[in-house]
Amino acid sequence: MSQTERLTDIGPPKYDKYLPPIVKKNYGTWLYHEILKPGVMVHMAESGDKLYTVRCGTPRLLSIYSIRDFCDVADKYCGGHLRFTSRHNVEFLLTDESKIEPLIADVKKLGFPVGGVGNAISSIVHTQGWVHCHSAATDASGVVKNVMDALCDKFESMELPGKLRIALACCLNMCGAVHCSDIAILGIHRRPPKTNHSILNNICEIPTVVAACPTAAIRPARIDGKESVEVDEERCMFCANCFTVCPAMTLNDPLNDGVSIWVGGKVSNARHEPMFSKLAVPYIENNPPYWPEVVETVVKIVDVWAANARKFERMGEWIERIGWPRFFEMTGIEFEKYHIDDFKYAGLSYKRSAHLRF
């Protein structure tokens, strides 16, 4: 049976089903793209066709009303075509250059900023937070909304030295891919799970719980006459994997959960190999609804980088050039004992390659 004859409602539709006609026509024959102004790009095809893109930022969690508004804009200017980027920006794709300005005016009237292209911050990719995930050590949407409000001018302009990518994950499971962002906001638990032995065997599969722990800290045990598990707390890294598979192993702790901040990650290969984010601030307590301490710290790091980095230098490249001691000095972040990785298995994460740079 051919691809087109396949009848199923499982999985996404074939990727080219909803491509705009101009993209279908020039598929695989695009020559280059240029940034015309903040939030606006043009892609040039070998055929001479031009595809204009207008990017606007969204808060990721969108109401049905906002989605209908976006669809109305796409119907009015783009033949009904738009796309969501992996960082939750909406991109409107047009072929008529004269429609760019009216489209931007309509999007701004709806309250969404246009930008996120070139040397700018793009929308902050984030996870579920208290809205939707039981493992969360911090909120996601609330923190991101406040940080993005403070940095919105850097989305709408292209005045930063290089690209700035910020991500938030609300626990160590890191659905938000925070290990490779210029600035990563990571929710952290700081205590091992509290096990409810009276219900564990009724609601969880003990072998699954044991297998869920990446550090082998959980083992089966008979406690007060009931089949349950015990946790070797020395081995626990508070990752919440066990809580993910077993609600009887609660990690949430209002007094000890909070936020850590990591810096210097990147995915791209440009100028430097991809880099992992490294710890900058070990702990900031949760302070909803405006998260002033997190906002202040992130804005400070961005401002110091923006004022001192060379053209196109990403956060990690800048820190590598000036050195970590200087980074802590310039940002005013205190270097504490928590910056030293003394976890039992830390050796596994140390760089042990013979590849040295001087």
By CB under 6 A, tell whether 217 contacts ligand SF4: yes
Q: Work out how close the CB of 251 gets to ligand SF4 at its nearest, in angstroms, rounded to a whole number.
A: 6
Cβ(135)–Cβ(170) below 8 Å:
yes
Q: Does 178 bind ligand SF4 (CB under 6 A)?
A: no
Asked if 259 is part of the footprint of ligand SF4 (rule: CB under 6 A), the reply reads: no
Cβ proximity to ligand SF4, 52 vs 238, nearer residue = 238
Instruction: CB nearer to ligand SF4: give 174 or 206.
Output: 174
The CA distances from residue 160 to 42, 183, 249, 269, 308, in Å, are: 21, 14, 44, 19, 10
> Where are any strands of DSSP class E within the chain?
30-37, 40-45, 50-56, 82-84, 90-94, 125-126, 166-169, 183-188, 194-195, 218-223, 226-231, 249-250, 258-263, 278-285
Q: According to the binding rule CB under 6 A, does residue 184 interact with ligand SF4?
A: no
Interaction between residue 192 and ligand SF4 (CB under 6 A): yes
Q: Locate 312 and state its tokens.
A: 């196109």
CB 155 within 8 A of CB 147: no
Of 39-47, 72-80, 212-220, 269-277: span binding ligand SF4 (CB under 6 A): 212-220
Is residue 167 involved in binding ligand SF4 (CB under 6 A)? no
Q: Which of 26, 56, 28, 24 is nearest to 40 (CA)?
A: 56
Return d(Cα 296, Cα 293) in angstroms, integer.
5
89 is a site residue for ligand SF4 (CB under 6 A): no
Residue 141 or 331: which CB sits closer to ligand SF4? 141
Q: Rule CB under 6 A: say whether 185 interacts with ligand SF4.
A: no
Residue span binding ligand SF4 (CB under 6 A) among the ranges 20-28, 130-138, 266-274, 308-316: 130-138
User: In terms of C-beta density within 10 A (0-12 exposed, 13-18 middle, 19 or more buried), how is residue 336 classed?
Assistant: exposed
Closest CB to ligand SF4 among residues 78, 236? 236
Q: Any contact of residue 170 with ligand SF4 (CB under 6 A)? A: yes
Distance CA 12, CA 203 (A): 33
Question: Minimal CA–CA distance to 115: which of 138, 91, 94?
Answer: 91
CB nearer to ligand SF4: pick between 160 and 212: 212
* Cβ(215)–Cβ(187) below 8 Å: no
Is there binding between residue 171 and ligand SF4 (CB under 6 A)? yes
User: Is residue 144 part of the contact set for ligand SF4 (CB under 6 A)?
Assistant: no
* Residue 256 in contact with ligand SF4, rule: CB under 6 A: no
Q: What are phi and psi of 9, to 5 degrees?
A: -110, 15
**Tokens coding 94:** 């047009």
For residue 248, state whether it binds ligand SF4 (rule: CB under 6 A).
no
Q: Which of 66, 157, 215, 308 binds ligand SF4 (CB under 6 A)?
A: 215
Interacting residue with ligand SF4 among 61, 133, 177, 299 (CB under 6 A): 133
Positions in the binding site for ligand SF4 (CB under 6 A): 127-128, 133, 135-136, 169-171, 173-176, 192-193, 212-213, 215, 217-218, 231, 236-242
